[in-house]
Chain A
Amino acid sequence: MSSRDAVLEALRENARYSTEDIARMTDLDAEAVEAAIADLEEEGVIRGYRAVVDYSKVDPEPVRASVELNVTLDRETGYDDIADRLARFPEVQGLRLVSGDFDFAMEVRGDSMSEVSRFISEKVAPVPEITQTVTHYIMESYKESGVEFGDGHDDDRLSISP
């Protein structure tokens, strides 16, 4: 694995690892790790660092929905144009063009169900190219960004073993 990939791998696992610790675990010096991170950020490989939050433990718990969008395209308007317009709304947490029965999978977050519903009906549905919206409210989250929300794998090993 290249040093760049090794640094990326470490950050993908835990973006809060210190430069010093990443250097230790990858056998690089701290300057090389800093440089690799700077490159990755500059090239846009790393787009940001965010906490993985279990919203059911946040008070008040925000409301999240995953929304299917169908769109129609014309000569002047492509997927990117529609995506650009939608992505600007702060309520939109994630937006992906997908294959299958609908075009965009959009994740929306708001303070209440009515707020999210209003956002969909007043801001999203009226966009001329959008022909259909199907909103799925998220009821329970079991895994986010690769992190499982269960009790985890309890360490039931003997404290000392051969």
Chain B
Amino acid sequence: MTFEESTRLESVPPSGIRKFFELAEEYDDIISLGVGEPDFAPPWSARDAAITSLERGRTSYTANRGMRELRERIAARTAGRCDLFYDPDSEVLVTTGVSEAVDLAYRAFLDPGDAVAIAQPCYVSYVPGARLAGAGVIDVPTREADDFKLTREVLEASGAAEAELLVICYPNNPTGATMTRAELEPVAEFAREHDLLVLSDEVYADLTYEGEHASIAALPGMRERTVVCNGFSKAYAMTGLRLGYAMAPPEAIEAMNRIHQYTMLSAPTTAQHAAVDALDNCDPDVAEMREEYDRRRKFLLSRFGDMGIECFRAAGAFYAFPECPWDDGEAFAEALLEAERVAVVPGNVFGAGGDGHLRVSYATSLPQLKRAMNRLESFLE
């Protein structure tokens, strides 16, 4: 009797970010610009709602799809932001983080042998998730020359037309890239022409600093082929509460819910109570956090400019994705960590197109960012 890994699992290597985590853990005095979650605590009002729900003993399972009052608020919020209307009863599914929503979409709509086109660099779970679902992956590397926006040209060049499903994420982790409605148009056109489903992870939507967030699902002919994913982790700083949601036409949500009801039953109840309050009362907190991130973003980009580090003007999420001063991003990140105790993540761990770049997170206070930039400057000298 042995725990022999399944063939599917063997196709998934350990996360590349893990190695840097272990390296960084060896030091206790580092400034980490390698963190993929907010440095803020969730708004107090939302935490208080979670505590109150616990005090009242509201800890039973919820409906598979999530509490109705939460789904109503999610639909209303989406309507207000993107001019996209979803029925709370049949078109919204509350999940355990966006990660679960992505996994559900993969398993609900992909067969072994199907291909998923994934715009990269991207969040580290999209590629392994597709492999675990038995699908093949078509890398679609975005380019710095396009400010890491997805273009029709790279979709065509990468063979994405063969895929069943296209996965995009804007504002993007790790690049901080955003896409306007006009820039999404050619992507939508490509998806319609080649009859692709689209999974759009918009978890950073509220952290857009220049212009308005646009959802690809709001473009003509796209709502019926798109699963929009969003969640509370980033804008509301609720990462550990594990709460996300998917919005899609009824047949898609029905399919995803069929997996969800067996594997998850329902998303964490306490987190759902916090989320209802977050949508009701915490917009001012989100605005405050967004302003703070924006100041850090501008500060960081300005310092990069002065140091001669090339960096496109990232306008969303809380990441900048500068060019690495050395050819070898991993070697640079290791040397910077060792010499100056500043942690950044080499871009190659986020997939195709990330090589030669660094992900620099500004989910860190301004004084810490300033210290880190001073250290980086002395390292370069």
Q: Which residues of A contact B (CB under 8 A)?
A: 1, 9-10, 14, 17, 21, 23-27, 153, 155, 157-162
Option from B21, B295, B299, B370 in Cβ contact (under 8 Å) with A161: B21
Option from B15, B124, B299, B345 in Cβ contact (under 8 Å) with A25: B299
Check A159 against B123 for contact (C-beta < 8 Å).
Answer: no
Q: Which residues of B contact A (CB under 8 A)?
A: 15, 17, 20-21, 24-25, 30, 32, 34-37, 39-41, 123-125, 173, 291, 295-296, 298-299, 302-303, 343, 345, 366, 370
Q: What chain B residues lie within 8 Å of A157 (beta carbons)?
A: 35, 37, 39
Given A161-B21, A162-B17, output 8 extra A-B contacts at Cβ < 8 Å: A9-B291, A25-B296, A25-B299, A157-B39, A159-B32, A160-B17, A161-B17, A162-B173
Nearest B residue to A18, CB-CB: B370
Check A159 against B24 for contact (C-beta < 8 Å).
Answer: yes
Q: A159-B24, A161-B21, A162-B17 are in contact. Are A24 and B298 (CB under 8 A)?
A: yes
Check A160 against B39 for contact (C-beta < 8 Å).
Answer: no
Check B15 against A160 for contact (C-beta < 8 Å).
Answer: no
Distance from A36 Cβ to chain B, minimum over Cβ atoms (Å): 15
Option from A27, A155, A160, A161 in Cβ contact (under 8 Å) with B298: A27
Check B32 against A160 for contact (C-beta < 8 Å).
Answer: yes
Nearest B residue to A9, CB-CB: B291
Q: What chain B residues lie within 8 Å of A17 (beta carbons)?
A: 366
Distance from B262 Cβ to chain A, minimum over Cβ atoms (Å): 26
Check A162 against B123 for contact (C-beta < 8 Å).
Answer: yes
Distance from B12 Cβ to chain A, minimum over Cβ atoms (Å): 14
Check B303 against A24 for contact (C-beta < 8 Å).
Answer: yes
Check B30 against A159 for contact (C-beta < 8 Å).
Answer: yes
Check A162 against B15 for contact (C-beta < 8 Å).
Answer: yes
Distance from A90 Cβ to chain B, minimum over Cβ atoms (Å): 33
Q: What chain A residues lie within 8 Å of B173 (beta carbons)?
A: 162
8 tightest Cβ-Cβ pairs between the two chains A and B: A25-B295, A24-B302, A160-B34, A160-B21, A159-B24, A25-B299, A161-B36, A162-B124
Q: What chain B residues lie within 8 Å of A26 (beta carbons)?
A: 295, 298
A-B contact pairs, 27 of them (CB 8 A): A9-B291, A14-B366, A17-B366, A21-B299, A24-B299, A25-B295, A25-B298, A26-B298, A27-B298, A27-B302, A153-B40, A157-B35, A158-B21, A158-B35, A159-B24, A159-B25, A159-B34, A160-B17, A160-B20, A160-B21, A160-B32, A160-B34, A161-B34, A161-B36, A162-B36, A162-B125, A162-B173
Complex alpha-carbon distance, A10 and B370, angstroms: 15
Complex alpha-carbon distance, A52 and B322, angstroms: 37
Q: What chain B residues lie within 8 Å of A155 (beta carbons)?
A: 39
Complex alpha-carbon distance, A155 and B28, angstroms: 13
Q: What chain A residues lie within 8 Å of B37 (beta carbons)?
A: 157, 161
Nearest B residue to A6, CB-CB: B295
Distance from B58 Cβ to chain A, minimum over Cβ atoms (Å): 26
Distance from A160 Cβ to chain B, minimum over Cβ atoms (Å): 4
Nearest B residue to A27, CB-CB: B298
Distance from A69 Cβ to chain B, minimum over Cβ atoms (Å): 33
Q: What chain A residues lie within 8 Å of B17 (beta carbons)?
A: 160-162
Q: What chain A residues lie within 8 Å of B30 (beta carbons)?
A: 159
Q: What chain A residues lie within 8 Å of B345 (beta carbons)?
A: 160
Check B24 against A160 for contact (C-beta < 8 Å).
Answer: yes
Complex alpha-carbon distance, A14 and B299, angstroms: 15
Distance from A154 Cβ to chain B, minimum over Cβ atoms (Å): 10
Q: What chain B residues lie within 8 Å of A23 (beta carbons)?
A: 302
Check B35 against A160 for contact (C-beta < 8 Å).
Answer: yes
Complex alpha-carbon distance, A145 and B56, angstroms: 34
Check B299 against A159 for contact (C-beta < 8 Å).
Answer: no
Q: What chain A residues lie within 8 Å of B24 (beta carbons)?
A: 159-160
